[in-house]
Each structure stands twice: as structure tokens, then as C-alpha cells.
Amino acid sequence: MRITRDVVQEVETEHFSDPPLMVLASLADGPKHGYAMIDEIERMSGARLGPGTLYGAITRLENQGLIEALAVEERRQPYRLTAAGRRALRAKLVAMRQVALVGLRKLEAQ
Amino acid sequence: MTSRTAARLVRLYPRCWRTRYGEEFAALLEQHPFSFKTFANVLWSAGEAHMRAAISHERNQGIIVGSVWSAWMIAVIAGLILYGMVDDSPLLAAMDQSSIFAASWKVIQTGCVLAVSAILIAGLPLAWSIGLYAVRQRRRGVYLRLASPFISAFALVAWMATVLICTGGHWAASPWAVAFSRPDWPSDSVRWITGSISALVLVLGCIASAASVSQVLRDSRFPDLRIAFSGVNVQVNPLSFATALAPWAAAGIFVMLAGVVVWGCIASHLSAIAFRSLSGPLGLSGWVSWILSTIILGFAAAISAQAAWRSRALAAHR
């Protein structure tokens, strides 16, 4: 019993972790710079990304052409989604919603 | 954390990454309090960035173009060994008499023209782009590395001019003339020492040029060049353009190698005595100079072939 409770607690406190997806999602409502992205991701998922993790994701996403840099504002670099990034984010979220719906339906059927 | 600590952490990342993200990343770090967790996170991410940089497309392109440049610098040494030996020698008369012999020399020259044209066509936009990058980033190290071929050439010319002035305009410290003797030339030992220094400056200059330019090509970022001509706007990435020309330069070096092999075989067959009695650099015989030149050129051809192969693989992978 105690073991079951521990596992449930662990799952409840475990944060969803896919930094590139989190960055894309944080930019869905408009351009943001690094610190604002970290705050937004924490609000969305409860996970606070480290600066290295954030910039690892930004580097990958920019190389893939999914986000782009805007003009620098007082040393802070805002980023925004590109058209390809918007499409990629939508596709990923739709797929996740599908998985979530099917998974929940199966759980409720039992 | 303080800007000093942030700058130190940014230095953990590869240079190409720092050039693009260093400033904004430092600004972000300054907004974080320093903690072991932040340090570990940055350390891990920097390690990942190093691994990614090592296999990145742009870096691979830089390595390919750098290899072609290095191969060309090696080919220059081989070409100079051969040309210095043949120039003003009895073999020139033999080449006038035999069309096949002359044709093999023309093959070497054709390969040389092919390789030089590929290097110039690829190199000029690349040099312009790196120059723009260096000016924008205010990186003096890039200027210095790019200038290394010119500095090397200047050092050689300056050394030979100095020797020429010191010997009253009689001896130019040519490595190809140390074994000859004329009444107005300096003594054997002076000729050998000054000629050896010239050869050393030449070889070291070529090695320094190959290493420094290759490093710039590997570690720099190359802004796209926009060319507007008769209302047509073309945007070119000079590094991609240069990578695409790698097989052309490699073909030129291979043609040179084929020409040198055939030329040497014909020379040893048609005028064996003249060939063996020729004087190469630092008193080497014509035969040994030819063998040396062929081996060095073969080495250059192998490097350029590998670069050409990688450029094709990279294009296919893309």
C-alpha cells in the first residue's frame, strides 16, 4: 500500500519533459526571450528548465528552422515561431491529444 | 550571478556556439542566482553543444574546404620542387623535341590551372564572407589567420631579398641552386645554410597557411552573400558553394599527379642522363626530386580525394 502511494505521488510530481516542445508551446502566443520562456514553461508544466537545457532546445529548434530570432532588446534575444514551427507544434499537440484521449478512454473503460 | 561568472560559464561552450548565442546566454545566466544545479545544467549542456558542434553540417563543410586548402598547400610544395628542378634545365630542350614529353608537362599545367581556378572561385567569396564576419565580430585572430599565407610569402621574399642584398645582388638563397657554384656566389657553407633556411621558411609557411586557414574555415560562421546582378538577386552560402567545388579542386590535383608520374617516366626514358644529373632542391638529384615530388603530390591528392568524397556524402546526406 505504501509502495503504491509512493509511486502515485512520484507520477503526480513528475514533470512533463520535452524541452523543444515546451519551448515551441511557450512561443505559441507570441515572441519571448529566454527568461520569459522559462517562466511560461514553468506555468504550463510545473517544470523549470535550466538555462543550459533551454538554450540546447533553442539551438536545435533554430537549426531546424522551427523558431527564429528577432531584433535584440537590451542584450535579451526574443524568439518567435516560424510557419514551419507553428505547423510542427500543431501536429505534435494534435498527436498528443489523440494519445491522451485514447489512453483516458481505455482507463475509464476498465 | 555576476557577469564575470556568467562569462566564465559561457566559455565552456564551443566557439561557434558562443559566437551565435554567447551574448544572450550570458544575459540569461546573469538573471539566475549561481547554484550547483545551474552549474551542472550548464556544464551538461555545454558538453552536448561540443558533441553537436563536432558533427554539425557547417563544421563538416569547414573541415572539407580546409582539407582542400591544406591539400593545395602540399601540392604547392610538390609543384615547386618539380618546377625549380626543370626550370632552366636541359629537359626543356628535350620537351621541345618530343611532343609526348611536352604533352605530359602540359597535363601538369592543366591540373594546376584546374585546381587554382577551383580554389580562386571558391576562395574569393569565402574570403569576403569571412572578412565580413571578422569585421562584424571584431575578431583580430581571424584577420591574422587569414593573412598567414600572405605573411608566409612575405617572409620568404623578405628573407631572399635580404640575402640578395647582403651578397651584393649575386645570391638569392634559392634552395635549387645550392649545389651549383659560380665565382661571384658566396661559399658552399653560406649557400647551403641560406638555401636551407629558404626551404624551411617555404615549408613552414605552407604548413602555417594550411593550419591557420583550415582553423578559420572550421570555426567561423559564414554570412550568406547576396549578389544583385541585372535585376536578379542571388543568395549564396559561400561555404556550401566552396564545398560543392571540392571535387573540382581534387580533380585538378589528381590531373597534376597523373601528369607528374607520366612526365617522370618519359623523362627517365627519353633523357635519362640529363634527368639524373639535374639538381633539385638542396642538391637532391633530379630522380630523387621527382620521386619526392610524386610522393608529396600523392599525399595531397589523397587528402583532396577524401575531402571530395566527404563533400559528395554530405550533399547526399543533406
- B132: closest CA of chain A, how far (Å): 20
B230: pLDDT strictly greater than 80: no
Domains of chain A, residue spans: 2-109
Q: Which of A53, A55, A76 sits opposite B21 (nearest CB)?
A: A55
pLDDT one-digit tens code per residue, B253-288: 999 999 999 999 988 888 777 777 767 777 788 888
Task: Please give the grid coordinates belonging to residue A21.
Answer: 516542445
Chain A and chain B share a number of CB contacts under 8 A equal to: 55
A35 neighbourhood in chain B, CB within 8 Å: 28, 31
Would the CB atoms of B24 and A34 count as touching at under 8 Å? Answer: yes
B30/B6 Cα distance (integer angstroms): 6
**Burial status of residue B248 (CB atoms within 10 A of its CB: 0-12, 13-18, 19 or more):** middle
Q: ipTM score of the complex?
A: 0.78
CATH architecture, domain defined by A2-109: Orthogonal Bundle (1.10)
pLDDT of residue B107: 95
Nearest chain A Cα distance for residue B59, angstroms: 13
Quote the CA–CA distance of B187 and B27 in Å, as a whole number. Answer: 66
Residue of B nearest to A79 (CA): B24
Q: Count of alpha carbons within 13 Å of B226, Cβ hemisphere only?
A: 4
CB B307 within 8 A of CB B247: no
Q: What is the pLDDT of residues B151-170, one digit of tens each?
A: 999 999 999 999 989 888 88
Domain boundaries, chain B: 14-54, 62-151+205-317
Distance CA(A40)–CA(A25), nearest Å, equals 9
State CA B39 to chain mean position distance.
Answer: 40
Spatial distance between the Cα atoms of A65 and A70, rounded to a whole number of angstroms: 13
> Quick one: cell of A81?
515561431
pTM (predicted TM-score): 0.63
Helix runs in B31-56, H state only: 36-54
* Nearest Cα to Cα of residue B246 among B147, B293, B313: B313
Assess contact for B282 and B80: CB atoms under 8 A. Answer: no
- Express each pLDDT in A11-33 by its tens digit: 444 445 688 999 999 999 999 99
Q: Is B38 close to A50, i.e. CB distance below 8 A?
A: yes
Query: Strands A67-69, A79-81: parallel, antiparallel or unpaired by DSSP?
Result: antiparallel
State the nearest Cα–Cα gap between A34 and chain B, in angstroms.
Answer: 7
Interface check for B10 against chain A (CB to CB < 8 A): the answer is no
Is residue B178 pLDDT above 80, yes or no?
A: no
